């Protein structure tokens, strides 16, 4: 059964080159048709256990799954209740990632919604690897940079990119925050509490981050994020940086953007900070 051993990025790069070449023959490049790709990639790589089936299924608690069918190869399933094409596409790509990266280590993969968002360089799990692959496949960095080049990257720009790549705004915003050299923080919250928060490298090095893992973290009280009278502010509003980070300089401000996603019951907030603004707690000199 053998074959090459891939990393998330080498697998995505291999498929990206293949898709780029197919585009030269007239194929529409984006959004990526993951279903078709999954059905063809095994043959393309000359693997003896290709993905034979890609279909919606009643798999209840899971967003998606990948199952070995013995001699028939593999079945890639996604939850039939998923309404958004972007979530279906990301889920299919995540499972394709398990196929390319992990099929020799497991015969069954069952993946939850939470498995679809925890990706990034500091994550090492197979779920993070599958997400990393999915993100790179659906939004290759070269085209992603082109789509998100703007004087100010706000939720308008990221929404347009989400349409182009056919993925959710959250997936696009995560891709951007992981790759930008700017100082920015992305927060997903529900009913006033942070589900998770991700900072760009620059923001993190300036102290602008939240520790949400395993903790209950309320949204700060004087932010656009908690203002129920505003459901969407895609281009942003200037706010005192202290409204988010209590140790920020009194005069520092940030751009806060917000989008309430009523269908899913969460709020996405994007904070854009000046690159020089630091928010570290002052050191206490106790000795
Ligand atoms: Zn998974």
Annotate the chain with DSSP letters as a single string: -------HHHHHHHHHHHHHHHHTTT---SS--HHHHHHHHHHHTT-SS-EEEEEEE--TT-SEEEEE-GGG-EEEEEETT---HHHHHHHHHHHHHHHHHHTTT-SEEEE-TGGGT--STT--SHHHHHHHHHHHHHS-HHHHHHHT-SSS--HHHHHHHHHHHTS-HHHHHHHHHHH-SSEEEEEEEETTEEEEEEE-HHHHHTT-----TTS--BPPTTSGGG-TT-SEEEEEEEEEGGGT-TTS-TT-EEEEEEEEETTTTEEEEEEEE-TT---PPPPP---
Q: Does the pLDDT value for residue 186 go beyond 90? A: yes
Taking a C-beta distance cutoff of 8 angstroms, is the pair 67, 47 a contact?
no
Percent of the chain with pLDDT over 70: 95
Task: Report the chain's terminal Cα–Cα distance, integer Å.
Answer: 63
Q: What's residue 49's pLDDT?
A: 96
For 112-149, write each residue's pLDDT tens digit: 987 877 655 555 799 999 999 999 999 999 999 999 99
User: β-pairing, 74-79 with 51-57?
Assistant: parallel
Confidence bin at 287 (pLDDT 50/70/90): very low
For residue 130, report the distance from its CA to the centre of ligand 1, in Å.
Answer: 6
Q: Does the pLDDT value for residue 253 go beyond 50? A: yes
Instruction: Round the average pLDDT of the chain to a whole number and report it.
Output: 93
d(CA 61, CA 58): 9
Q: Does domain 152-273 have CATH number 3.30.450?
A: yes
For residue 25, report the distance from its CA to the centre of ligand 1, in Å.
Answer: 33
For residue 96, report the distance from its CA to the centre of ligand 1, in Å.
Answer: 9
Please name every residue paired with 232 in a beta bridge, in sequence order, or none if there are none: 259
For 210-244, write each residue's pLDDT tens digit: 999 889 999 999 999 999 999 999 999 999 999 99
Percent of the chain with pLDDT over 90: 84
For 62-91, write each residue's pLDDT tens digit: 999 999 999 999 999 999 999 899 999 999
Q: What's residue 122's pLDDT?
A: 54
Confidence bin at 286 (pLDDT 50/70/90): very low
- CA angle, 19 then 140 then 213, to 5°: 135
Q: Does the pLDDT value for residue 177 go beyond 50? A: yes
For residue 218, report the distance from its CA to the centre of ligand 1, in Å.
Answer: 29
Q: What's residue 118's pLDDT?
A: 62
Could you identify the residue written with the tokens 């968002």? 117
For residue 116, report the distance from its CA to the centre of ligand 1, in Å.
Answer: 7
What are the structure tokens assigned to 237, written together? Answer: 């509003």
For residue 256, report the distance from its CA to the centre of ligand 1, in Å.
Answer: 32
For residue 135, report the distance from its CA to the centre of ligand 1, in Å.
Answer: 13
Q: What's residue 60's pLDDT?
A: 86
Q: Which fold has domain 8-138?
A: Arc Repressor Mutant, subunit A (1.10.10)
Entry pTM: 0.92
For residue 234, report the distance from its CA to the centre of ligand 1, in Å.
Answer: 31
Instruction: Show me where the domains of the chain are located.
Output: 8-138, 152-273
């Amino acid at each position: 059964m053998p074959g090459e051993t891939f990393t998330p990025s080498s697998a995505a790069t291999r498929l990206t080159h293949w898709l780029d070449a197919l585009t030269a023959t007239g194929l529409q490049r984006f959004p990526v048709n993951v279903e078709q790709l999954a059905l063809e990639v095994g043959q393309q790589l000359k693997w003896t256990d290709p993905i034979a089936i890609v279909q919606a299924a009643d798999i209840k608690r899971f967003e998606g799954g990948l199952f070995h069918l013995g001699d028939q190869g593999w079945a890639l399933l996604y939850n039939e209740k998923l309404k958004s094409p972007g979530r279906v596409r990301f889920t299919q790509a995540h499972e394709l990632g398990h196929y390319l990266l992990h099929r020799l280590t497991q015969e069954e993969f069952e993946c939850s919604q939470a498995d679809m968002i925890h990706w990034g360089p500091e994550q090492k799990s197979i779920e993070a690897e599958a997400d990393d692959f999915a993100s790179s496949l659906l939004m290759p960095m070269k085209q992603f940079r082109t789509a998100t080049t703007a004087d100010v990257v706000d939720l308008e720009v990221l929404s347009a990119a989400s349409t182009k790549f056919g993925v959710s705004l959250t997936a696009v915003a995560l891709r951007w925050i992981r790759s930008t050299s700017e100082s920015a923080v992305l927060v997903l919250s529900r009913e006033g509490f942070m589900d998770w928060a991700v900072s760009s490298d620059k923001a993190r090095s300036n102290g602008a981050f939240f520790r949400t893992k395993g903790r209950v973290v309320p949204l700060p009280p004087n932010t656009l994020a908690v203002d129920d009278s505003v459901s969407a502010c895609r281009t942003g509003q200037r706010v005192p940086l202290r409204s988010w980070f209590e140790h920020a300089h009194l005069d520092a401000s940030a751009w806060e953007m917000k989008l309430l996603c009523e269908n899913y019951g969460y709020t996405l907030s994007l904070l854009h900070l000046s690159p020089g603004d630091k928010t570290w707690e002052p050191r206490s000199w106790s000795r």
